[in-house]
Structure 1
């Protein structure tokens, strides 16, 4: 969640992997995307466009 606050812009799964210093391989990107989708379903994040995630702003 800090990555979203620090960058203050919508992120893709690949961008989040880079900010977390994870190797940019499809396994990491897909796992991150899956976790981001789960956070969207719980109302913590919002998917503004397909594959583009941001924090929910009240």
Structure 2
């Protein structure tokens, strides 16, 4: 079963503010160091950018 992402938003955020949020999103991450059954490296796969907008 897939886990839901978690997001933490400051309670003091107001309309028009630029804020920092914290999030935890489960995903299939690969470092590029592991090898598959044939001995070939599995390509790196990471989330390196996340852009969020709310109502706009």
Assess same fold via TM > 0.5: no
Higher relative contact order (CA 8 A, sep 6+): 1
More strand by share: 1
TM-score, normalised with respect to structure 2: 0.21
Which structure has the larger Rg over C-alpha atoms?
Answer: 2
